[in-house]
Amino acid sequence: MRSILTLIFLSVLFSTHAQTDITGTVTDPSGIPIQGANIYLEGTYDGASSDENGSFSFTSSETGQQNLVVSFLSFETYSLIQDVTSMTDLKIVLKEDVNSLDSVVLNAGTFSAGDNSKASVLTPLDIVTTAGADGDFIGALQTLPGTSNNEEDGRLFVRGGDANETNIYIDGLRVFQPFAATTNNLPTRGRFSSFLFKGTNFSTGGYSAEYGDALSSVLQLNTIDEPDQEKTELQFINVGLGGGNTQKWGKNSLSLNAFYLNLKPYQEIISQRVEWIKPYESLSGEAVYRHKFNNGLLKVYGGLSYSNFEFIQEDINVPEGVNFGLKNRNLYVNTSYKGTLGNDWSIASGISYANDYNNIDIINTDVNDRENSFHLKLKLRKRFSNRVKLNFGAEQFINTFSEDVEVSDVDTIKTNYDNNSTAVFTEANVFFSKKLAMQVGLRGVHNSLLDYTKVSPRVSLAYKTSSKSQISLAYGDFYQAPQQNVLKFNSTLDPEKSSHYILNYLYQNNGRTFRAEGYYKSYESLIKFDTEIPEFDSVFNNNGDGYATGIDIFWRDNKSIKNLEYWISYSYLNTERDYRNYPNRATPNFAAEHNLSLVTKYWIRDWKSLLSTTYNFGSGRPYNDPNESVFQNQKTRTFNSLNFSWAYLISQQKILYFSVSNVLGFDNVFNYQYANTPDVSGNFARRPIRPNADRFFIVGFFWTISDDKKDNQLDNL
């Protein structure tokens, strides 16, 4: 018995020490040897690195079936299970890892900032240090090609589309009122403080099937996952005061901030073209709570803002001017969860809610409107392999609106609607190789108010032409329901439709980026009506149409001149549309043919200063002169503006900031308003629509208090 046992042990010992040679070569798909690949038997110490000929050899005392693993940076890990004795003269061909940094990117139509994405053209800091943007993230995006400068509005006008054709999302969920409430010719700003976001994805066309109800563009903003550290921030600006605080504990973090803005003191010093009765005043607060679970991340964002102003708006038809007052209250809550489910499944889900209330007084008319909106979304993602991924999901929009218009001593008109829609989407991402990738998607939407169901395909392709360059193509159909101003009077219309065709070329080399994109966009079923603005007795139809075509050029260089970063954007736009009450196709006022931006940022180390300038140019904008027989055939003078900002870092935590827009005081005209009736000599009189002031000055002091005394708010400016 004893001898048998001994024998067994001996044999076990012996067998574990028998040596087998494992040899072979490692190459890439084109047969080029790979040096430095890691080759080993899984779960053992036995292995080697391949030499300059791609050859390897090592010995192992393992027997039987074993798993041979071969791994190398930017290649997919290879695995071979077979008997060790047959692991000789192996010819191993590694497949390129399509997730590596030098792979092709599907980027037609898209500008991204931050997120370490390879296609990024801006850094998160750029968004906030661009002169003229004054901390508004939308302002920086207006220096990118594909946008038309409409300084009197402040929102995004993309490729011949008006501002309503762009939708904004935070963490994948819709933002219903992304801009502060204003009126004609008072530029607006984004409601959200830019320091909450770590990455921005701005699509000027051909975007993913995940997004809908926008004819031209979507802007995706992603909030930061985890703040770096606890801190308190204080802001003292000539037009307001703000403060914020961030706390972290365990797997939780909470950021709070508030800002009070009042333009009264400023407007008493700097003369304005309009007569203010109650200068713009707003109070806003935001809170973000984040909780990390083992397999996911929960974020809850809440923002509440209140604003009010009153002024006398100049009007050619009303000599004494139009008294206009507005009070707005907005609540926005956004809750999202992102996580993994195991087995290569992941989930992104959430709900956003907005409650918006406006009270508007125009002369003797009192308008009250209330809007409640919900967005619910569930998205699942399955990763079949490194090369094939599938996204699919469903979303529900619920929107209720009601408005009371009270004309004193006359009547009260009530309007309301419930606009609900349901959408499903699916999208596949396929990498055929590191050089060729494709995304194919389909989106279906049903709107219960207007009772329509539409299906829209989305396709994009990208091909890497060299190690530094690539071309991509995109196509997509996009539908958008009519806006609030139409829906409140009519619920029998069809959605408006656009189709995008995009060709993109991208070249990136060591701090320099060149991007050129040509596009054609067609518009169908645009909404027309027979009155100046939509009214309760207007006759509406879907007979409008149009097109937009153009070329967008972007050049960025961070390397050629030390401490200087700059970018140049140029957009050529040719567009005409027949919509609203247009008698025929014409180019709308917001669409200038040529737009140019030059943005520079120069860091002077000795002065501890960041100097930024932004020059914007726009060719003349079309307007209609009723004295002429042809509709919309006049053009304003060209638009020019040079903005300047100076951030001086007093110490690591204190920043002094100064900025001025339109330094050179160009006298810009955006449009003309003509009299409704001709004067005695048969001419229609006009007044130019100009900025409320030629320049805007900001002086601010930003103070960050954190334990480490290192952080500052440069990224908030």
Partner 1 sequence: MRTIIILLTFFAINTIHAQNAYEKGMKKAFELWETKKPDEAINLFERIAKAEKENWLPYYYAAQVHIITTFGIKDAEEIESRLKKAQDFLNESKTFSKENAEILIMEAMLNTAYVAYNPSVYGPTLSGKVEELYRTAKTYEPENPRATLYHAEWKMGGAKFWGKDPKSFCPEVEKAILYFEKEPEKKVPFYPQWGKNQIKRIQQNCK
> Which residue in the set 23, 27, 57, 71 belongs to the binding site for partner 1 (CB under 8 A)?
71
In contact, 76 and 386? CB cutoff 8 Å: yes
| Interface segment toward partner 1; rule CB under 8 A; list 35-43, 160-168, 345-353, 548-556 | 35-43
Q: Is 522 in the site for partner 1 (CB under 8 A)?
A: no
> Which residue in the set 2, 679, 680, 682 belongs to the binding site for partner 1 (CB under 8 A)?
2
- With a CB cutoff of 8 Å and minimum separation 6, the contacts of 427 are 208, 209, 210, 390, 391, 392, 439, 440, 441, 442, 458
Closest distance of CB 170 from partner 1, Å: 20
Burial of 594 (0-12, 13-18, 19+ CB in 10 A): middle
Closest distance of CB 651 from partner 1, Å: 7
Q: Is 27 in the site for partner 1 (CB under 8 A)?
A: no
- In the chain, how long is the greatest CA-to-CA distance? 129
Task: Report 623-652 residues binding partner 1 (CB under 8 A).
Answer: 649, 651-652
Q: Is 101 in the site for partner 1 (CB under 8 A)?
A: yes
Q: How far apart are CA 145 and CA 592, in angstroms?
A: 13
Q: Is 44 in the site for partner 1 (CB under 8 A)?
A: yes
Q: Is 38 in the site for partner 1 (CB under 8 A)?
A: yes
Task: Closer to partner 1 by CB, 79 or 531: give it.
Answer: 79
Q: How many CB atoms lie within 10 A of CB 269?
A: 8
Q: How far apart are CA 302 and CA 548, in angstroms?
A: 37
Task: Closer to partner 1 by CB, 29 or 36: give it.
Answer: 36
| Interface segment toward partner 1; rule CB under 8 A; list 47-55, 200-208, 319-327, 488-496 | 47-55
- From the list 92, 76, 73, the residue with the least C-alpha distance to 25 is 92
- From the list 307, 308, 311, 287, the residue with the least C-alpha distance to 299 is 287
Task: Closer to partner 1 by CB, 45 or 319: give it.
Answer: 45
| Interface segment toward partner 1; rule CB under 8 A; list 251-259, 569-577, 678-686, 703-711 | 703-711
> Which residue in the set 7, 21, 29, 43 belongs to the binding site for partner 1 (CB under 8 A)?
43
Q: How far apart are CA 110 and CA 438, in angstroms?
A: 15
| Interface segment toward partner 1; rule CB under 8 A; list 71-79, 401-409, 571-579, 663-671 | 71-79
Q: Is 74 in the site for partner 1 (CB under 8 A)?
A: yes
Task: Report 469-498 residues binding partner 1 (CB under 8 A).
Answer: none
Task: Closer to partner 1 by CB, 563 or 627: give it.
Answer: 563
Q: Is 438 in the site for partner 1 (CB under 8 A)?
A: no
| Interface segment toward partner 1; rule CB under 8 A; list 434-442, 517-525, 583-591, 708-716 | 708-716
Task: Report 208-247 residues binding partner 1 (CB under 8 A).
Answer: 228-229
- With a CB cutoff of 8 Å and minimum separation 6, the contacts of 423 are 212, 394, 395, 396, 397, 443, 444, 445, 446
Q: How far apart are CA 5 and CA 176, in angstroms?
A: 78
Structure tokens at 712: 């500052």
> Which residue in the set 483, 549, 558, 673 belongs to the binding site for partner 1 (CB under 8 A)?
558
Interface mask (CB under 8 A) for partner 1, residues 5-24, using x and -?
xx--x---x-----------
- With a CB cutoff of 8 Å and minimum separation 6, the contacts of 157 are 147, 148, 150, 163, 166, 590, 591
Instruction: Give the single-character DSSP code of 580.
Output: B
What is the distance of C-alpha 44 from the center of its chain?
48
> Which residue in the set 83, 102, 225, 667 belongs to the binding site for partner 1 (CB under 8 A)?
102
Q: How far apart are CA 702 and CA 610, in angstroms?
A: 15
In contact, 433 and 96? CB cutoff 8 Å: yes
Would residue 220 be called left, alpha or beta, if left means φ above 0 and alpha means ψ between -120 and 50 degrees? beta
Q: DSSP states of 219-288 as a string? A: EEEEE-SS-SS-EEEEEEETTEEEEEEEEEETTEEEEEEEEEEE-HHHHHHS--SSEEEEEEEEEEEEEE
> Which residue in the set 24, 124, 495, 534 belongs to the binding site for partner 1 (CB under 8 A)?
124
In contact, 491 and 484? CB cutoff 8 Å: no
Task: Closer to partner 1 by CB, 76 or 162: give it.
Answer: 76
Q: Is 707 in the site for partner 1 (CB under 8 A)?
A: yes
Closest distance of CB 248 from partner 1, Å: 9
What is the distance of C-alpha 257 from the center of its chain?
22
> Which residue in the set 45, 52, 249, 584 belongs to the binding site for partner 1 (CB under 8 A)?
45
Closest distance of CB 502 from partner 1, Å: 27
Helix (H/G/I), strand (E/B), else coil: 556: strand
Q: Is 562 in the site for partner 1 (CB under 8 A)?
A: no
Interface mask (CB under 8 A) for partner 1, residues 344-363, using x and -?
--------------------
| Interface segment toward partner 1; rule CB under 8 A; list 346-354, 413-421, 474-482, 702-710 | 702-710
Q: Is 297 in the site for partner 1 (CB under 8 A)?
A: no
Q: How many CB atoms lie within 10 A of CB 152?
A: 18
Structure tokens at 182: 């204003």
Q: Are strands 388-407 and 296-313 parallel, antiparallel or unpaired?
A: unpaired
Q: Count interface residues toward partner 1 (CB under 8 A).
A: 44
Closest distance of CB 496 from partner 1, Å: 40
Task: Report 650-679 residues binding partner 1 (CB under 8 A).
Answer: 651-652
Q: Is 386 in the site for partner 1 (CB under 8 A)?
A: no
Do you know the residue count of the chain?
717
> Which residue in the set 30, 510, 629, 681 belongs to the binding site for partner 1 (CB under 8 A)?
510
Q: How far apart are CA 468 and CA 573, in angstroms?
A: 28
Task: Report 598-627 residues binding partner 1 (CB under 8 A).
Answer: 603, 606, 608
> Which residue in the set 40, 157, 259, 353 belongs to the binding site for partner 1 (CB under 8 A)?
40
Would you tell me which residues interact with partner 1 (CB under 8 A)? Answer: 2, 5-6, 9, 13, 36-38, 40, 42-45, 47-49, 69, 71, 73-74, 100-102, 114, 123-125, 228-229, 510, 558, 565, 603, 606, 608, 649, 651-652, 707-708, 710-711, 714-715
